[in-house]
Every structure is written in structure tokens, then in C-alpha cells.
Structure 1
Amino acid sequence: MNVYHLYTVAMATVFAVVAPPCCQNASWDEELKHLNSVAGDFTPFGGRSDLVYEGKGEFESCNRCFQNATERHAYLNSFSTQPQSAKYGLNQFSSLSPEEFRDLYLRAIPEQALPFFGSKTKELPAKFDWRDRAVVAPVQNQQACGSCWAFSVVGAMQAAKAIAGMPLEELSVQQVIDCCFQNGGCNGGSPTKALFWLQRTRINLVPQSEYPYKAKNGMCHFFSHPKGGVALRNFTTFDFSGQEEAMKAELVERGPLSAVVDAVSWQDYLGGIIQHHCSSRWPNHAVLVVGYDATGEIPFWIVQNSWGTDWGNEGYVYVKLGSNLCGIADSVAAVLV
């Protein structure tokens, strides 16, 4: 059973507890006890596994978030008239208000990138996906930690390492969170600042197995003789707005790209190709662009997110190509290891 169905069942159970005549004589304490037994068994509520209603006010607030979300979904879906269009609905973030969602998950800090001034783009394949070459690591889950900036950078580095002929392995995101003092760890950060730090220090990122993810800030651990890992040699950051054909060439030639986007509307995303209501004015979330597909009626970017595989298209989101939707081309970094 997927997250959408789990959430629907859980919410139906919650409303059944509150509303039915058979429960009208029960005390709120008894209702609250049952509500918490339901919530405690349901991991995806707000991305938390420890959701507990501490009182009637908190439950009513969650109920309002749910009702507001359903109204928001109806509006967003009113634009989705084509079979491939994005669909919006209940997911693991539906118990969060938009403000709570932004505070927890949209913590990337954008940096101004130089416009790309490259040569004319050579002919490119209609479809290209680095996952087909086994150089993209599985989707991760940042949990309730604003560490998307670190996941984006580390995702690009571990892909570049595999493209260079070394074994694909997951590198430590937690090491970047703890040690990149120019950024704020779970409180947010800039992918560009992280890349400058990695280039300047030439620090070796160790495997995730040696420095596991904790979804919270911690003390920096240095490794004098790490087993495996990789250091950053160089990177580029460009603004490809209006030049997404050149961005396609950058992806094909250099590998998966770190990008900062406006992901406000992604709170409700279930799947399909985003074509509307995704601004480029307020970048706030870092992701990894792993490919594109221009074979169909709607060309789109293939983007790996860091919200787990229960979100979107098994952890991926598809964004229409050619319109700088979500600001996907405004700040794009490629790495060399």
C-alpha cells in the first residue's frame, strides 16, 4: 500500500473517531488516546514517525492543514489537463502547513551564478538518463533536516566518481553537514558554498557507511586515512536560463547537475510532469538533475529529490524542459573529481 492510500486510510480513521454518533459521549481524553494510537502507527505523517497529538487544539490544527491541503490540490489539479501532467494530492507532507513545510524542507540558499556563454550546442540525443549508466545512487531521505544542499552536492560528487570509472558508492552527507562551517547544516545552506569549501580544503568525503546520516547537526569528524571516498578537483556554476539546450549538453558531457529550484508547490506533488504554478523567483531547494526526455509531447528534466522514495515518482520529479520552470536553470553546478 503506497503513502497516498496509507494517508487516506489514516485520515478516514481519524475523522471516524471524531465524528460518529457512537463516540459523542466519549471524553476528549479517550478520543485523544485513540488518535495517538493511530498516528503512532503511521510513519508518513509530516515525514515524522513520532507524531503525537498533545491536545485538542493540535489535532484541530492538523485537521485544518488537511482541509486546506485538499482545497489546494483541487486548485493545482485544475491546470492538469493532459495525461502526462503533474498530479497533486495527499502525501507524507499533507499534515504540514505550507509555512511548516518551508521551514523544515526548503532551506537551500541560492547564490548568483554567472550567465553561461558557451559555444553552439552540438546535436544531442533526444533522451539521456545517467541512471541508465548505473552512476546515480539511490534516492535518499533528508527527513526533518534542511540538508537538501548537502544531498545535492554529494549526489553530484558520487556520480562524478562513478563516471570517472570508480565504483559507485554512497558518500557521507553527514560529513558535509558537520564540517562545512560556511553553511548551517540542518538549518540550511548553499550548494555553491559547499563546493567552494570542498575545492579549497580538498577534504576526502568518506563513504556513508563510515559516517552515517543522522538528520541533525553534529560534531565534525576528520579522517586522516579514509577508506575510499573522493575529493573535489573542480566545479563550475552557471545560469542557464534561456539556454536549456546548453544545460542539456552540460549534463551529457559532465554528469548529473546540482541545481537550486523553487519547490514550494512540490509539497503536494504525486507524479507526472510539472508544467504550471512553479515559480523561478524564490529558489529554496537543492536537487540533482540526472537526465532529460524530449521524446514525448512534453519534454522534461528528470530530477532526483531527497525526500525518500514514497514521494513523487519513486523519489523523482519531472519538470517541463524549456521554460526555466521552478527556476531549474538559474543556478546549476557540475563537478569534477
Structure 2
Amino acid sequence: MHLLIIQRMHLDKYLFAISAIIVCASASHFLDQEWNAWKSKYEKKYVTLDKELNRRKAWEATWEKVQKHNQLADQGLKSYRMAMNQFADLTDNERSSKSCLLPREKSLNPVKAESYSYTSITIPKEVDWRKSNCVTPVKNQGTFCGSCWAFATVGVMESRYCIRTKELLNLSEQQLVDCDEINEGCCGGFPIKALEYVAQHGVMRNKEYEYSQKKATCEYDSDKAIHMNVSKFYILPGEENMATSVAIEGPITVGIGVSSDFQLYSEGIFEGDCAESPNHAVIIVGYGTEHANDKEEEDKDYWIIKNSWGKEWGEDGYVKMKRNINQCSITEMAATIDFRM
């Protein structure tokens, strides 16, 4: 009898070990399928097997991070969800270190921009300039060029020009990357500096100066540029002024401190970790409020932000960010431009 018990115990241990092996093999097979599907979707190719294995390791760490975060979101403990997007094969440190803005000490010198504050003005509770058909489709700056500053500048120009003329132009970011000598092409820049360049030189259409994801020889042609009658370009202090400008005049450009969490954003209102200072330029195209279902919870004010990472990132290329808390240092570099008509 005692011998039978021992044999049964050994059999249970054996079956448990076999079950564990099967579960692990099944999980590994599942991840293999997901990895291959992800590589195909984002057209990822690696030079050597070692590089692919390193990226696969980072990707699996991201997978675990995304699953844990979304479980919390499902429980109502997070206000936004994450996704295995184009940044999934980077490590947290690599994602957090990506920047397309110049060091802060260079940000406002030698720009001649003034700070502008609105007097007390009643504005709508919600604004979304996408509904006016004056916001161009989401664009993609690509992986290898830190040109967010050019995309943010051009996007504001496109929208504000359209709001005044009813003509939506698709303008050239590449012109700014190649020709704006105050900024530093794919190595970073600042929208407020680029607004000064545009005020002086105008902007060519994208079809006549297409984006290439790299800095090249300047091919600016003044005869083909859209010369806009700029009345002023200016800095907006504080979220109240930012909201007023968006509501009355149109989209504005801002700098935000992008983190690893932000890069993996999928949907919802982002209120996660941020970098210590702005390192990415984006466009505010509107704002709104998500009303709480529970009386004990607070309503959440948010910005509607157009990014330059393609339509597959976030909510079709957009992100909602919590408003009125200076989320990700969003107030530090808010700027825009006005035209005379």
C-alpha cells in the first residue's frame, strides 16, 4: 500500500511536469505567432539573428507590460489602454530617450516671439476642429528622423490657413527639415522657431517638396511657396489661454514630455508617466470633458492631440491627454500663428 502511494506521488509529479511543459510550449507557440504577425504588420526586418533575438526579448517584455496595464484598465484602475504598436521592440529606456526637440536652453533664442494672454472670454465646453474639415490626415514622421517640430508647425499652418480661407492645403514638412537653418533638421527643432521661418519664407506644397525622412539639400522655391500674410506668432502661457486660442482661432502646437508609457498608448485619456521635460512636439486640435458615470468620481477634462506617428498609433493617430493639470509639461512650449486676411 505504501509503495502504491509513492508510485502515485511520482506519477502526479510527472504529469504536472508534462502539463507545465505543454503550457510553456503552447505559450511560446502563441508568442511566436504574435511576433511574426507583428513583424509583418510593421514591416520589421533585422540585419542579423542576434539583433532579432535582442529585439524579440524587448518585445516580449513590452508584451508583458501591455497585458498587465490593460488588465488594470479592464478593472477601471487605468484611464487608458496600451497596444503592441511600432515601438514594441524597443526597451523602456530606448522609448524614453527618443526626442525630436532641441535642449531647452536653445528653445527661445533668438526667436522674437511674444507671450499673448486673452482677456476673460467665454468659450465652448467642447471644441474639435476635425469636424470643420480643416485638419489634414495624420502623417508619419518615420522612425529615423526627429522632425516632430516640423510636422507640428506645418499642421498648425494648414489648419489655421484653412479656417480663414476654407482651403485645406497639404504643406511640406521636408522644406522645414532641409531649409530652416535655425532648427536642426532630423536632429530636432522647436515649432516657435519654425513659425518664424514660415512667416519669412512661406511653405511649399507637399506634392512639390515631398517628405523623405532625412535631411537633404534645400530645394526651396519662393515662386512655388504659399506666402501667408502672418500678423504674429506667439507663445501661449497656461492652459486657459491655450484653450481660448484653440476655441477662437484654431489648433496650436505644444511640446510634451513623452515617456515609454505614452509611446505605447492605444486609447482613452492618457494620464500616465511623463518625461521630465518636453521632448516631442504635437498639435492640439480641440478639447472636451469625459463625464463620470459614478457621482463619487470626477469628470475628466482632456485635450485632443494630433500626433505624427501615423494612423496606426493611438486613436487613429490621435491621443486624449488630461487637461488642466499641466500633463507632461504641456504648457511650457505652447505656441501658434495668426494671419491677416
Query: Per the shorter chain, which TM-score range?
Result: 0.7 to 0.9
Q: Is the 8 A contact 2:148 2:282 kept in 1?
A: yes
Residue identity over aligned pairs, in percent, reads 29
Q: Is the 8 A contact 1:108 1:191 kept in 2?
A: no
2:126 paired residue number = 127
Q: 2:263 aligns with which of 262, 267, 270?
A: 267
Q: Residues 54 and 231 of structure 1: is their aligned pair in 2 closer, same or farther, counting only changes over 3 Å? A: farther
Q: Report whether the alignment pairs 1:195 with 2:189.
A: no
1:283 paired residue number = 278
Where does the alignment leave 5 or more consecutive residues of structure 2 unmatched? 1-27, 292-298
Secondary structure in 1 matching 2:207: coil
1:307 paired residue number = 309
1:334 shift after superposition: 1.4
Q: Residues 282 and 334 of structure 1: is their aligned pair in 2 closer, same or farther, counting only changes over 3 Å? A: same
Q: 2:202 aligns with which of 199, 204, 217?
A: 204
List aligned pairs for 1:92-111, cutoff 5 A: 92-102=86-96, 106-109=99-102, 110=104, 111=107
Q: Residues 308 and 231 of structure 1: is their aligned pair in 2 closer, same or farther, counting only changes over 3 Å? A: farther
1:272 shift after superposition: 0.7
Q: Residue type matched to 1:72 in 2?
A: K
Q: Residue type matched to 2:193 in 1?
A: K
Q: Is the 8 A contact 1:121 1:246 kept in 2?
A: no
1:77 shift after superposition: 4.6
Q: Is the 8 A contact 1:157 1:232 kept in 2?
A: no
Q: Is the 8 A contact 1:66 1:94 kept in 2?
A: yes
Measured in 2, the distance between the counterparts of 1:184 and 1:124 equals 37
Q: Residue type matched to 1:42 in 2?
A: S
1:166 shift after superposition: 4.3
Paired residues, what number? 296
Measured in 2, the distance between the counterparts of 1:52 and 1:288 equals 33
Secondary structure in 2 matching 1:270: strand
List aligned pairs for 1:123-162, cutoff 5 A: 123-144=122-143, 145-162=145-162
Q: Residues 119 and 54 of structure 1: is their aligned pair in 2 closer, same or farther, counting only changes over 3 Å? A: closer
Q: Residues 84 and 216 of structure 1: is their aligned pair in 2 closer, same or farther, counting only changes over 3 Å? A: same
Measured in 2, the distance between the counterparts of 1:72 and 1:115 equals 43
Secondary structure in 2 matching 1:294: strand
Measured in 2, the distance between the counterparts of 1:215 and 1:306 equals 12
Measured in 1, the distance between the counterparts of 2:180 and 2:225 equals 20
1:215 paired residue number = 213
Q: 2:234 aligns with which of 233, 236, 239?
A: 236
1:71 shift after superposition: 3.9
2:61 paired residue number = 68
Q: 2:40 aligns with which of 18, 42, 45?
A: 42
Q: Is the 8 A contact 2:236 2:242 kept in 1?
A: no
Q: Is the 8 A contact 2:271 2:321 kept in 1?
A: yes
Q: TM-score, normalised by structure 1?
A: 0.78
Q: Residue type matched to 1:95 in 2?
A: D
Where does the alignment leave 5 or more consecutive residues of structure 1 unmatched? 1-10, 18-34
Measured in 1, the distance between the counterparts of 2:220 and 2:114 equals 36
1:99 shift after superposition: 4.0
Measured in 2, the distance between the counterparts of 1:156 and 1:96 equals 30
1:117 shift after superposition: 7.0
2:331 paired residue number = 329
Point out the structure with the larger helix share.
Answer: 2
1:251 paired residue number = 246
Measured in 1, the distance between the counterparts of 2:171 and 2:309 equals 17
1:115 shift after superposition: 10
Q: Residue type matched to 2:334 in 1?
A: V
Secondary structure in 2 matching 1:234: strand
Measured in 1, the distance between the counterparts of 2:274 and 2:194 equals 26
Q: Is the 8 A contact 2:138 2:307 kept in 1?
A: yes
Q: TM-score, normalised by structure 2?
A: 0.78
Measured in 2, the distance between the counterparts of 1:245 and 1:69 equals 36
Q: Residue type matched to 2:218 in 1?
A: C
Measured in 2, the distance between the counterparts of 1:267 and 1:229 equals 35
Q: Is the 8 A contact 1:254 1:335 kept in 2?
A: no
Secondary structure in 2 matching 1:272: strand
Q: Is the 8 A contact 2:203 2:225 kept in 1?
A: no
1:39 shift after superposition: 7.9
Q: Residues 131 and 53 of structure 1: is their aligned pair in 2 closer, same or farther, counting only changes over 3 Å? A: same
Measured in 1, the distance between the counterparts of 2:231 and 2:93 equals 38
Q: Is the 8 A contact 2:108 2:193 kept in 1?
A: no
Q: Is the 8 A contact 1:261 1:327 kept in 2?
A: yes
Between stretches 173-182 and 223-232, larger displacement belongs to: 223-232
Q: Is the 8 A contact 1:40 1:51 kept in 2?
A: no
2:46 paired residue number = 52
